[in-house]
Amino acid sequence: MQSITKYFNLNERQKEQFEMLGTLYPEWNEKINVISRKDIDNLYVNHILHSLSIAKFINPVDGTRFLDMGTGGGFPGIPLAIMFSKCRFHLIDRIGKKINVARNIAESIGLDNVTFQHGDIAECRDKYDFVVSRAVMRLDGLLPLIKKNIDKIQRNGYPNGLICLKGGDLNDETKSIPNPVIIEELNRRFDEPFFETKKLVYVQM
């Protein structure tokens, strides 16, 4: 929890919700493996803080709509929904057990700005300001899948598009993308060794 408050100013409700995640995820992970069991002890840095790195990149206006594609157990959607309580989040995943964990955790902490869908991205036809994801697939494969989901109406400082969290060398993935791309090295924002090779990628659409 200290890794979150080190970088973000939270109100009491947010602190309570983030603290609850520290209990709920290990409990659920014993039943359904949504986080590597070797990695569950690193929940706050490797999963929650990593998800919140998007909140260092963008400060969305109230009512902004996010689609979390391939959310798994709720990352980055649930941490972002806690941080941006006046925005809307739709979390989708093809694995029913994982989306069920995310739904139950959201209900347990009282999140009322999230919805859930068990299915493939092709089944989601709604429009959003931003699609977010954590290393779901290559960028050049992901962009054609989500193009239909990006709203043309702009409301934020950054134009609507994709914000995803990835690691390693991205030159091969980005060289064939005609859209404007911003790549941000996360070790410039966070001190923890986990972020040494982590990147945030924004693609305008």
Whether the predicted pLDDT of 17 surpasses 90 = yes
Please, are residues 71 and 47 in contact by the beta-carbon 8 Å criterion? no
Q: What's CA 120's distance to the chain center, in Å?
A: 17
- Edge-to-edge order in the sheet of strand 65-69: 114-118, 88-93, 65-69, 130-134, 161-167, 198-204, 181-185
pLDDT, mean over the chain: 95
119-173 tens-digit pLDDT: 999 999 999 999 999 978 889 899 999 999 999 999 999 999 999 999 988 888 8
Whether the predicted pLDDT of 204 surpasses 90 = yes
**Nearest partner of 81 among 64, 101, 56, 94, judged by Cα:** 64
pTM (two decimals) = 0.96
Give the mean model confidence (pLDDT) for residues 83-90.
98
User: What are 163's strand-pairing partners?
Assistant: 132, 202
Please, are residues 60 and 32 in contact by the beta-carbon 8 Å criterion? no
24-65 tens-digit pLDDT: 999 999 999 899 888 999 999 999 999 999 999 999 999 999
pLDDT value for 37: 83
> Could you give the percent of the chain with pLDDT greater than 90?
87
> Could you give the percent of the chain with pLDDT greater than 70?
100
The terminus-to-terminus CA distance of the chain in angstroms comes to 35
Whether the predicted pLDDT of 89 surpasses 90 = yes
Using DSSP bridges, classify how beta strands 161-167 and 130-134 pair: parallel, antiparallel or unpaired: parallel
Backbone φ and ψ for 133, nearest 5 degrees, come out as: -165, 160
Backbone φ and ψ for 181, nearest 5 degrees, come out as: -130, 135
Structure tokens at 14: 């947010």
